[in-house]
């Protein structure tokens, strides 16, 4: 496992741009809510720690990870955010459904990034079992939501610095 030697919540705060004056949207899957709620809390708290106004952190819940890409696109159209964090949890089951949902979710989120030019951060856990998901959503490997928020802050700043006109 790639996270076995890496704590997901460890980062250098000095290297993270401020969230002041920026708007972020969290689109969060209801499926595996124990996990996604922990990821949501980690992402939200990290955005606030880095100066984002609480009123500029907008949240929308969707039924599952498959719906995250469309939710991100709709949120971009409705809220004009600086970045979106797509939060989900897909746990492997006994059928190939896991592979289909993982692939479609990843592809959909990438497509929204490229189509809109707005960073949509892939904060979707794809784990073999529920314990792995717990370990990566506030457990022994930290909280991937923190990592997602740091990526959103960095990509929002990059996008802003590269805007022409």
- Is residue 1 situated within a structural domain? no
| pLDDT for 8 beyond 90 | no
Marked catalytic residue, from 6, 79, 97, 141 = 97
Annotated active-site residue 97? The verdict is yes
- Indicate the pTM of the whole model: 0.94
pLDDT digit string, tens, across residues 60-115: 999 999 999 999 999 999 999 999 999 999 999 888 889 999 999 999 999 999 99
Structure-token match 């890409």, residue found: 69
- Is residue 4 situated within a structural domain? no
CA 134, 136, 141: angle at the middle one, nearest 5?
Answer: 115
- Is residue 76 situated within a structural domain? yes
Which candidate, 153, 150, 86, places its Cα nearest to that of 120? 86
pLDDT at 133: 96
- Is residue 7 situated within a structural domain? no
- Is residue 34 situated within a structural domain? yes
- Is residue 9 situated within a structural domain? no
pLDDT at 57: 98
Burial-class residue 29 by CB neighbours within 10 Å (0-12, 13-18, 19+): buried
Domain containing residue 61: CATH number: 3.40.50.960
Check residue 66 and report its DSSP letter: G
**Tokens representing residue 129 in the block:** 């079992």
- Is residue 17 situated within a structural domain? no
- Is residue 13 situated within a structural domain? no
Q: Across the chain, what does the average pLDDT equal? A: 94
Query: Which structural domain range is residue 126 located in?
Result: 22-162
How many domains are contained in the chain?
1
Which candidate, 116, 119, 125, places its Cα nearest to that of 146? 125
Q: What is the pLDDT averaged over residues 52-59?
A: 98
pLDDT digit string, tens, across residues 120-130: 999 999 999 99
pLDDT at 165: 44
The values of phi and psi at residue 19, to 5°, are -95, 0
């Amino acid at each position: 496992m790639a996270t076995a030697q890496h704590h997901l919540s460890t980062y250098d705060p000095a290297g993270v741009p401020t969230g002041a004056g920026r708007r972020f949207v969290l689109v969060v899957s209801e499926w595996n809510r124990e996990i996604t709620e922990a990821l949501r809390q980690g992402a939200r708290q990290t955005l606030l720690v880095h100066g984002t106004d609480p009123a500029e952190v907008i949240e929308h819940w969707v039924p599952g990870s498959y719906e995250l890409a469309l939710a991100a696109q709709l949120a971009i159209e409705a809220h004009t955010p600086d970045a979106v964090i797509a939060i989900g949890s897909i746990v492997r089951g006994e059928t190939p459904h896991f592979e289909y949902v993982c692939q479609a979710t990843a592809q959909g989120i990438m497509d929204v990034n490229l189509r809109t030019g707005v960073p949509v951060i892939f904060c979707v856990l794809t784990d073999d079992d529920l314990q792995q998901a717990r370990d990566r959503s506030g457990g022994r490997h930290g909280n991937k939501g923190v990592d997602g928020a740091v990526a959103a802050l960095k990509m929002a700043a990059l996008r802003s610095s590269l805007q022409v006109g």
